[in-house]
Amino acid sequence: MKKLLFLLIFIPFFSLANTGNTLTWCNQYAKELQIQWPSITRIDYPVIYKVPWVSNIDWQIKKQDKVVITSAGNTFSYSFKQPGNIEIDALFKYKNCNLKLTKQVNIYKQILVSINTKNKFLDALPLKEKNILIKNIDLENLTGFYYIKVANWIFVPSNYIIDFFTKVPAKFLDNKNIVLLVSSFKDFYKKVVIPYIKDLSNTKVYLYDKNDFLNIISKIYQQEALNSWNLININYQHTTYLPLSYFVNKLIEHGINLEILWIVLVAVFGTIIIAFFRQIIWFSVFGVYTPLIFSVLIVIFGYKLTLLLFVLSLIANIITYLITRKFYVLYSSKISLNYIIYTIITIVVTWLLASYSLFEFQNMSLSIVLLFMILPSLTKNLIKEDTQIFSKGFIIFIWEFILITGFLLWLFHINILKYTLIAYPDLLWLMMLFAILVGRFTWLQLLEYIRFAPLIKKSLYEEE
């Protein structure tokens, strides 16, 4: 009897405690799980919604609190036909919990994407009244690629045309209206984009002056068609009788990566700049083309990684320099010693950075090995056997190196220079002539006038 009384009294308490724990777990699951994917889409664009790790879901689509669509399955796939705001509910059982997840979705009639094209007058246009969304995105932001996929219209300014077609996968550009906003070099842009658009399905590419941006938005708002004469014909061929322009046009037609082309051409232009600095201005610079090679490495591999390995290589060279001053070794062994020290320092430093989440290895390619092997050869030019580290001359040389490298990096980021060299590659003949003229320069260099100013004044005074 006592046992029965004990059970009658305490079993309800155990049941309540267990129910409380179950509710706590269910609430936690509801917070951790969520409906994926888009919260913004457009009509007639197929979207798929799912809840990761969950199956057998009952889907309900509500509009103004009324269920308009029901479906059952692991995912919900649909192309919405009407613009507006809807609510997606997912009802399912998960680990003995009956859960309901909700997601708000905005459906637009048209989605317009502009690549780094901010305009203060856009906010004044009543686009949302017509269920039109305009979204400004950055090509470096991966989330922006979804908006490119779903967009009806894409506006690309001249500064980003090459980056746009080289970075955005072609499969994202089918069934689009793409407007290129330029101010000059129209023939150049035509011949550059044709290799990228000729295989796209049902995509129209227009070429407009950049000042027509708002006019085009207004036409879309008023549902007016754009002028057909602004449409780029994929059969367009640019005729040229200049030899290098002809070959470059053929390379573009065969789909050469334009980044490779402009990096090579700007680097060649950089050799002229270095020759000018050395022959005319009298900048010594450690290693004739060390600043140029270093600039190219930064353009290809990025600032963060290149500067990190450059600093580590510089430290390794300094350590090698100090060791070999105490213990003389032959040149080949010195190089080997430098690489060993450089490798040890790099392993330790990258491990420390990765431990604090300051360094990522996921997106690294094998080409990083080339960067790793080249940098010690560059920094070797900064620290030679006769170098007095931290002397006045050493510090001046370092500043010269930084100045020229910075100037070259600035050249690599001038879009008008990139486009000019690709559009008119026969400028290389003029560069060749300029290189000869600079090489024939035998007068006093500009900085020598400052260096020998006292002697020049003295000679002038004696002549008087």
Q: How confident is the model at residue 236 (pLDDT cuts 50, 70, 90)?
A: low
How far from 93 is each of 50, 53, 98, 460, CA to CA, in Å? 14, 12, 5, 98
> If DSSP states are collapsed to H, E and C, what string results for 406-434?
HHHHHHHCCHHHHHHHHHCCCHHHHHHHH
Q: What is d(CA 80, CA 77) in angstroms, rounded to the nearest whole number?
A: 10
Mean model confidence pLDDT for the chain: 79
Say which range, 20-24, 373-377, 402-406, has the weakest mean pLDDT: 20-24
Q: What is d(CA 271, CA 275) in angstroms, rounded to the nearest whole number?
A: 6
Q: Is the pLDDT of residue 237 over 70?
A: no
Q: How confident is the model at residue 13 (pLDDT cuts 50, 70, 90)?
A: very low
Give the angle 323-325-328 at the CA atoms, nearest 5°: 90
Q: What is d(CA 330, CA 309) in angstroms, rounded to the nearest whole number?
A: 25
Q: DSSP per residue over 354-373, as a string?
A: HHTT----TT--THHHHHHH
CB 408 within 8 A of CB 291: yes
CB 310 within 8 A of CB 294: yes
User: Which domains, from first to last, does the chain contain?
Assistant: 29-107 (2.60.40.10), 110-230 (3.40.50.360), 241-283+402-464 (no CATH), 287-381 (no CATH)
Averaged pLDDT, 24-35: 74
Averaged pLDDT, 123-133: 75
Averaged pLDDT, 29-55: 83
From the CB of residue 181, how many other CB atoms can be counted at a distance below 10 Å? 23
Residues contacting 109, CB < 8 A, separation 6+: 42, 43, 83, 130, 131, 132
Residues contacting 268, CB < 8 A, separation 6+: 428, 431
Instruction: Output the pLDDT for position 119.
Output: 65
pLDDT tens-digit readout, 136-186? 888 777 677 888 889 999 999 888 887 888 888 888 888 899 999 888 777
* Number of helices and strands in the chain (H, E): 16, 12
Strands 75-79 and 46-50: antiparallel
pLDDT tens-digit readout, 194-206? 778 878 888 889 9
